[in-house]
Chain A
Amino acid sequence: MTGTEINPATTPDALTPVLTRRWSEERSWTLETYERTGGYRALRTALAAHPDQLITLVKDSGLRGRGGAGFPTGMKWSFIPQGAEGPGAKPKYLVVNADEGEPGTCKDIPTMMADPHSLIEGCIITSYAIRANFCAIYVRGEALHPIRRVRAAVAEAYAKGYLGKDVLGTGFDLDIVVHAGAGAYICGEETALLDSLEGRRGQPRLKPPFPATAGLYASPTVVNNVETIASVPFIVAGGSDWFRTMGSEKSPGPKIYSVSGHVERPGQYEAPMGTTLRTLLELAGGMKDGIPLKFWTPGGSSTPMFTAEHLDVPLDFEGAAGAGSMLGTTAVQVFNETVSVPWAVMKWTEFYKHESCGKCTPCREGTYWLVQILERMVHGEGTPEDVETMLDVCDNILGRSFCALGDGATSPITSAIKYFRQEFLDLIAEQPAVARPEQLADVERADDTELSGAPA
């Protein structure tokens, strides 16, 4: 890719580099590079428009939240009460969810590393649209480098007059604070994030009230994912029709697919919504060492797994849901034939048990129980009843927990038993189980692909 501006609509090939198009630029994260490649032009367009026009534009574009749930972004913005009296009189806030923690997900961190200014420009436009004068970017605490980089970019934007009082002389004020989380998966849940941002213990809040009416400091708040916000400047620049040239009617636009696991070239692949795993595997150079695909997640470990049967499922919100899973964060984790499903499920469940916030009974106690069953099973002491017990415990968690974390914790187990029940039963029959990590080490080779490096 070059520094010249590109029209994604005419980009050939399966890739549609929009958000990722600057990633391979020299010092792509600097304001200088950003401006040279067309950055902060959309902002000027946006600031010349009425905020409501921007909300309508984003509505028309069909942009849906990239954090996993896929809620229509423009609609979310339009829920913010406006006006000089009543609920609209309260200050409004924009909070960017950069607490990327879903296992397998690694799209927001590279975005912030490689192109922080697209996020910042998105924040300014969004804040202007929802009439917020304060924006917080809540970055996962472990992501130290992105925190530094976004902070540096925010400082650059302040110095250049994109932030602070009277942005670009329009009379619009905006402050951005980059807040480091303290390392809890639950803080990616928007209301837990808000509590954490307020300095409290990060646990999900009771809804209603929803953040749109009582979010940060009990004021109307929009919480959006990094990728969602970073898409906004491109929509403002390209228009809603251009955005809709990619993807499907209900899930338009490009999407960063984070392909990891047993593929030749793991990385971030930005392609139109609805791209299939078959295409993604082609882009990623196929299965590593040619070992066949066994199972994969379409959008992180909280989305029910798929198998080789699902190579042609269009990976958009409708396609994934139609095939019995969810699009999630499009964290495509690919596992080949060498991986034991019960072992992988155990590792995921250990994560959920570790990260359960503890607020509600089903998630707190359920994950504690499930881990013990899985660990016992993998260590060669499973019983055939365990499979049914796990399914029943999952049934008692799914839809019974306080927030979606509990639901997500059941996905790997129920989907694994759905597709690989026999493997569980075989494992129980052929005790003891294979010690998986050692075996994996045999087949793994040094992987020289950069995490943040987009494929050329």
Chain B
Amino acid sequence: MTLAPENEKTPVPEGYVRLTIDGIEVDAPKGEILIRTCERLGIIVPRFCDHPLLDPAGACRQCLVEVEMGGRPMPKPQASCTMTVADGMVVKTQHTSPVADKAQQGVMELLLINHPLDCPICDKGGECPLQNQAMSSGRTDSRFVETKRTFPKPLPISSQVLLDRERCVLCQRCTRFSEQIAGDPFIDLLERGANQQIGTAEDKPFQSYFSGNTIQICPVGALTSAAYRFRSRPFDLRSTPSVCEHCSSGCAQRNDSRRGTVMRRLAGNDPEVNEEWNCDKGRFAFRYLQSKERITRPLVRDASGQLVEASWTEALRVAAQGLLAARAQRGIGVLAGGRLTVEDAYAYAKFARVAARTHDVDFRARPHSAEELEFLTTTLGTTPETGVSFAAVEAAPSVLAVGLDLEEEAGIVFLRIRKAVRKRGQKVFQLGQWTTAGARKTTATLVRSVPGAEAAVLRELAAVTDDAGKQLVDALSAPGAVILVGDRAAEVPGLHSAVAALATRTGAKVAWIPRRAGDRGALEAGAVPTLLPGGRPVTDPAARAEVERAWGLPEGSLPAAPGRSTDEIVAAAAAGDLSGLVVGGVDPHDLADPAVALAALEKVGFLVSLELHASAVTERADVVLPVAPDAQREGSYLNWEGRRRPFGVTLDASGVLPDCRVLDTLAVEMDEDLFTQTPAAAAGDLERLGRHTGSAAAPTAEPGPTPRPAQVGQAVLATWRQLVDDGSLLVDEPALAGTARPPRVRTNTATAERLGLVEGEAASVATDRGAITLQVELADLPDGVVWLPANSPGSAVRSTLGVGHGALVRVAPAGALGGAR
């Protein structure tokens, strides 16, 4: 037996320092904050103001420890949340130092003198760092017999966030989050001394898309949610890890439910994706689960034309018969929608091919183009490792956002970029119309374009060598640069091609960040007219053969020609060229022309709707089949990075079925097998198919003509959605709606003057179909351009105007447009 020589010390690794904490020797990376090193050793130093994702503050003084440097004890206890580790440092925490212990108890006593003893009714009671740490580091009783400081409470600092100033320990986590992370410093400290308090400016509420995070990181019950306050106690809640269904970021979240109801949602901790944050939409928009409009039983249209409740057996039989008849006539189209899990999207893709026997399937429930599909084919199949990830976005030296307002349409990507801007000076370019709040907060350089002319602008910038163009090309040529493309890019002809050309020229990586959670997964699962699952081109005979073999279809049974896109399916249905439609979670008002879509739904011979809520589709459907919301099922999303985001069941799932199961059973009624009875089965089936390995060519479409106002009183319309708007999953949450940015019509000063518009007064934007009237706000748009929120209260652009981004509209002061409502 050989004995290891004693006292042989391993050398300190490069970039590390060696220190001693409570007698334990530890190596820590240089620059690490002492409290983190303690955590890694399992030594928990109590703290309030410290948060790993916020800059150190040292305000609460709860984390004091004794420190010895170079053999000399420092005269005062040190805040371990502000001190960085150093070689040879000797640290004694409350476990080994009576001084540190006394200091911590002293601070705790002081924190409690003005804190109300209302834990029994406080939302935070039971999960409160103050409560917990008062137990671990506090005295058993208080010596304070004087008068406590009191404030009126609660103080609504927004419709969503309520402030109890008596409970506040002034750690400034909320103000630091708002300033450092979200860039919305609408809350700050007011007054001083014991009167110091968190507050807002008089006429400026805490209007931030990320305000809910302050509630979550508040270490006491000072910030509470209007929607959750007094609703339940933490120890009554059942917590389930889940994934957000609202956008393509796929944030980790925690669903807290009680007796079959989701009471609240919190941001989960996933350093690779959302760190510890989420947006208010993700946090608060879940009341749709209990909405009165929820459909829970199958509905079948009876002889009198009324939708009546029916058994699953009957509903599926009627649906199958109708679809079989439709298939035999002019065929069936499948509109899958962008909110599906990967498993459901696969089920729609397979249902279309196997049961409906068509490639007429499309998930794109929004304006789209053939060029887009070509472009998406080139971005298919990437993973966080091979494509662009959140980490890559954060590390990028420069970012160009195309057809994407980061804050409004990809909030968590926005937070990452803001972090990179703040910490590393990342350069951000925004191809758009005006300096939006998000652009301002990321100090983005606005590459201004007339709506519809973005492709031309991008091409021109890349081609010419003037300062602006050179700046952009140079920035994107730096290794690691990324171009982020939103799904709105499909509204501009040639834009995807221009992006592809720019990427080729600069070497920048391209990532597609669609707005909806299901878009990326549906693309990979083959819920598009040109692609089979796994990115297989429909036009590739070998790929078709592979799929036919895997699905047990007769050889050559899959059509060789691509199917029709959403718009084409809708047009075909409206023209009577399709006899049946299977519609997933699609809102016809989101489509390029809602009027045509509604007409198509009316006209089509047989309409089957798979839905959560009563909608314009269910109103017109022959059979309505209810499907399970995410909370009542398992499944997974593929987020924009191509990262699989699986989630489990939060609420009891009996009596509700996921789309894949409904489609599977419907197919069985049609005498076909999908093998998608459960999400797991669907996922396995998709997995077994594997991926296509061929490469696709980038699109090379030419930019369209630059839209120009042709007559007096005309302008070019720019439009996109705001994060909190009239989206169908935001129903029944008035507190959240109260934090939405007010809908405004925006133009620049010169255009406003020419059109006779006055800031603060109402103006109407009209087409022959209708008019939208909103208050005018001036912004730095190009001349002759007017901006509207796409789907906000009073501003449903596609539904009302029948046109979208890049269209010519009439603009005038409200009331001046004859005939317009």
Contacts and interface: CB of A to CB of B under 8 A. Distances in A.
Given A362-B106, A365-B194, A206 B114 contact: no
Contacts of A353: 193-194
Given A364-B196, A376-B146, A401 B61 contact: yes
A355 B193 contact: yes
B706 to A, nearest CB: 43
Interface in A311-360: 353-360
B527 interface: no
A400 B192 contact: no
Interface string A177-196: 00000001010000000000
B65 to A, nearest CB: 12
A396 B57 contact: no
A402 interface: yes
Contacts of A372: 146-147
Nearest to A365: B110
Interface size class of B (residues with CB under 8 A): 35 or more
A366 B143 CA distance: 12
B194 to A, nearest CB: 4
Nearest to A201: B189
Nearest to B75: A399
Interface in B263-283: none
Contacts of A369: 110, 113, 144, 146
B107 A361 contact: yes
**Which one of B106, B143, B147, B192 has the greatest number of beta carbons of chain A within 10 Å?**
B192
B482 interface: no
Interface string A387-405: 0010011011101111000
Given A360-B61, A362-B61, A396 B189 contact: no
A288 B189 CA distance: 46
Contact of A357 (B64, B107, B192): B192
Contacts of B196: 357-359, 364
Contacts of A354: 193
A367 interface: yes
Interface of B is mostly: loop
Contact of A367 (B62, B143, B193): B193
B192 A396 contact: no
Interface of A is mostly: helix
B94 to A, nearest CB: 13
**Which one of A203, A361, A366, A367 has the greatest number of beta carbons of chain B within 10 Å?**
A361
Given A206-B58, A372-B147, A364 B194 contact: yes
A368 interface: yes
Contacts of B61: 360-362, 400-402
B528 interface: no
Contacts of A362: 61, 106-107, 110
Interface string B84-116: 000000000000000000110011011101100
B498 interface: no
A96 B536 CA distance: 72
Contacts of A113: none
Nearest to B171: A361
A49 B346 CA distance: 81
A373 interface: yes
Contacts of A373: 146
Contacts of B76: 399-400
A400 B79 CA distance: 9
Contacts of B341: none
Given A206-B57, A372-B147, A400-B77, A357 B111 contact: no
A385 B191 CA distance: 32
Contacts of A385: 143
B237 to A, nearest CB: 30
B110 A356 contact: no
A396 B794 CA distance: 58
B193 A361 contact: no
A362 B103 CA distance: 10
Contact of B192 (A206, A358, A393, A401): A358
A354 B196 CA distance: 11
B787 to A, nearest CB: 32
B189 A361 contact: no
Nearest to A363: B193
A63 B107 CA distance: 38
Given A396-B103, A400-B103, A365 B114 contact: yes
Interface in B168-212: 169-170, 188-189, 191-196
B149 interface: yes
A396 B101 CA distance: 11
A396 B59 contact: no
Contacts of A184: 192
Nearest to A407: B76
Contacts of B60: 360-361
Contacts of B195: 358
Given A358-B194, A361-B62, A364-B170, A396 B149 contact: no
16 contacts: A356-B192, A358-B191, A358-B194, A361-B110, A362-B106, A385-B143, A389-B143, A392-B106, A393-B106, A395-B106, A396-B103, A396-B109, A399-B76, A399-B77, A400-B76, A400-B103
Interface of B: 56-62, 64, 75-77, 82, 102-103, 106-107, 109-111, 113-114, 143-144, 146-147, 149, 169-170, 188-189, 191-196
Given A362-B61, A392-B106, 14 more contacts: A358-B189, A358-B196, A361-B60, A361-B169, A362-B106, A364-B194, A365-B111, A365-B113, A369-B144, A369-B146, A396-B103, A396-B107, A400-B106, A401-B61
